[in-house]
């Protein structure tokens, strides 16, 4: 998501770079590699990251443990790690850097550092951290407490001893791994085993960009890691935890009301995200946030509503009150359970526009027996040489210039020209022009899942 013209991930990486380093480790799901790589490629001065690709999510303790093991292997025990979630909005980079450098100094003295946010209200969506007294000084943490109910949150604010837990941390790799060994040996042992069976290779980038490292984990050993947060595993039990009070503006945009707060409201308190090609007509509407991601022009009308969040993407529609927006995760859980054994349903895994190393694809329409996609290919890039067991495909180039291989024959293809890919016939698409190539693909068959791809050769090493 872009806020203020830049993605939240780009903003998090830029904050790290502002602290004086280009050594970047990105922990993300394996399905998000090419999306992440594409976002980094848009940065003015992108670092060459080390990607740790999770087959499935295992919470923050395993993720940070794996990152610490990778960091120690590359830079030693004394390397300072700054752990930044990629869903925070922090406009004041200069103040953030000052806080981060202060945290790093204490980290080098063997402390586990957490960034605390001074509460602005009795928020029930955050964990809290108790100290002797809220102030400007770095101080020892007395205890971590879980997300409270409203009455308890009000009590916390009245005492003047509690910060919000930002989820941002700073420590040396050695200090964190020692804490895991003492307090959560099962987490450390499982992470070490996952690393032992992992494969790390340079990522092939045809455009000559800085080469990142990619670590892929073996699914079975990775899945043995406990599903536990770093707070539960280490921070709540360690004796050497200190808090740096944040002297910068901060918003955790992990929920839609926080996204709405990051936009400028109109006179009625309404906010609009992703406004390209959108006409919003708001009649008797107050305090409502609308986010639309559409392939073309769309009119959105709200009449007589208050404090809603409306999110419309090509494959899903969400309508929720702001008060209930935290419960979106229950929708995700329900979808996962409903489609656990149906790989063609990937609503909880893939976004409407899916990024690949060569470009993107988006599903425009799908019904029984057919699917329509919009495919983009960057200049000089090509899809893998592949075939499908259960579907034929029909391709029409609508913009750009490409080379379509069908069997052993190659066909130069321009806008308006059509190619048919028979069932089980090998094929490949290459952008031979200087501009983005846009293709409309119609798939026909009894099964149209993304797993029906047999790659024969691939520029990006995915065979």
User: What is the residue-wise DSSP string for 212-253?
Assistant: PEEEE--HHHHHTS----HIIIIITT-SSEEEEEP-S--EE-
Check whether 91 has a pLDDT greater than 90: no
What confidence category does residue 100 fall into, taking pLDDT thresholds of 50, 70 and 90?
very high
Check whether 209 has a pLDDT greater than 80: no
CATH 3.50.50.60 fits 2-252, yes or no: no
| Helix 60-75 with 185-196: angle, nearest 10 deg | 60
Q: Give the C-alpha distances (Å, rounded to integers) separating 418 from 43, 154, 383, 396, 404.
A: 36, 65, 17, 5, 10
CATH 3.40.50.2000 fits 353-457, yes or no: no
Query: Which of 17-26, 50-59, 170-179, 443-452 shows the highest mean pLDDT?
Result: 170-179
DSSP structure class, residue 323: G
Task: Give the model confidence (pLDDT) of 371-411 as tens digits.
Answer: 999 999 999 999 999 999 999 999 999 999 999 999 999 99
Mean pLDDT along residues 123-146? 93
Structural domain boundaries in the chain? 2-252, 265-327, 353-457
Task: Give the model confidence (pLDDT) of 308-351 as tens digits.
Answer: 999 988 778 999 999 898 888 888 888 888 877 665 566 655 56
Query: Which of 84-93, 208-217, 277-286, 427-436 shows the highest mean pLDDT?
Result: 427-436
The H or E element containing residue 290 is strand 289-292
What confidence category does residue 277 fall into, taking pLDDT thresholds of 50, 70 and 90?
confident
CA distance 447 to 456: 20
Q: Is 272 helix (H, G, I), strand (E, B) or coil?
A: strand
pLDDT value at residue 347: 62
């Amino acid at each position: 998501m872009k806020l203020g013209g830049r993605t939240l991930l780009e903003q998090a990486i830029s904050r790290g770079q502002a602290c004086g380093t280009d050594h970047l480790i990105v922990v993300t799901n394996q399905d998000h590699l090419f999306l992440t790589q594409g976002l980094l490629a848009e940065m003015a001065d992108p670092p060459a990251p080390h990607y740790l690709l999770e087959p499935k999510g295992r919470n923050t303790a395993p993720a940070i443990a794996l990152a610490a093991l990778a960091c120690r292997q590359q830079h030693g025990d004394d390397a300072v790690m700054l752990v930044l979630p990629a869903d925070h909005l922090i406009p004041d980079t200069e103040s953030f850097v000052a806080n981060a450098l202060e945290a790093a100094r204490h980290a080098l003295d063997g402390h586990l550092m957490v960034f605390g946010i001074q509460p602005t209200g009795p928020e029930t969506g955050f964990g809290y951290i108790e100290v002797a007294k809220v102030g400007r000084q770095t101080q020892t943490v007395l205890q971590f407490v879980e997300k409270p109910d409203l009455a308890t949150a009000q009590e916390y604010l009245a005492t003047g001893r509690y910060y919000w837990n930002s989820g941002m941390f700073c420590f040396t790799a050695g200090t964190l791994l020692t804490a895991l060994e003492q307090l959560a040996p099962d987490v450390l042992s499982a992470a070490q085993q996952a690393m032992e069976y992992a494969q790390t290779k340079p990522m092939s980038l045809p455009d000559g960009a800085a080469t990142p490292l990619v670590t892929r984990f073996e699914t079975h050993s990775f899945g043995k890691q406990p599903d536990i947060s770093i707070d539960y595993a280490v921070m709540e039990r360690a004796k050497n935890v200190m808090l740096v009070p944040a002297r910068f503006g901060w918003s955790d945009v992990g929920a839609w009301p926080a996204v709405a707060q990051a936009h400028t409201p109109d006179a009625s308190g309404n906010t609009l995200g992703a406004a390209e090609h959108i006409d919003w007509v708001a009649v008797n509407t107050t305090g409502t946030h609308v986010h639309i991601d559409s392939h073309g022009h769309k009119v959105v009308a709200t009449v007589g509503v208050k404090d809603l969040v409306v999110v419309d993407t090509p494959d899903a529609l969400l309508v929720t009150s702001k008060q209930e927006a935290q419960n979106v995760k229950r929708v995700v859980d329900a979808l996962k359970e409903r489609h656990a054994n149906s790989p063609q349903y990937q609503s909880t895994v893939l976004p409407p526009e899916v990024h690949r190393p060569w470009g993107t694809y988006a599903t425009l329409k799908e019904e029984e027996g057919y699917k329509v996609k919009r495919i983009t290919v960057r200049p000089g890039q090509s899809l893998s040489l592949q075939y499908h067991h259960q579907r034929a495909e029909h391709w029409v180039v609508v913009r750009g210039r490409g080379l379509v291989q069908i069997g052993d024959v190659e066909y130069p293809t321009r806008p308006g020209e059509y190619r048919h890919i028979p069932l089980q016939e090998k094929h490949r698409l290459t952008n031979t022009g200087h501009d983005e190539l846009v293709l409309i693909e119609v798939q026909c068959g009894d099964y149209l899942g993304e797993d029906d791809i047999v790659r024969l050769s691939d520029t990006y090493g995915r065979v």
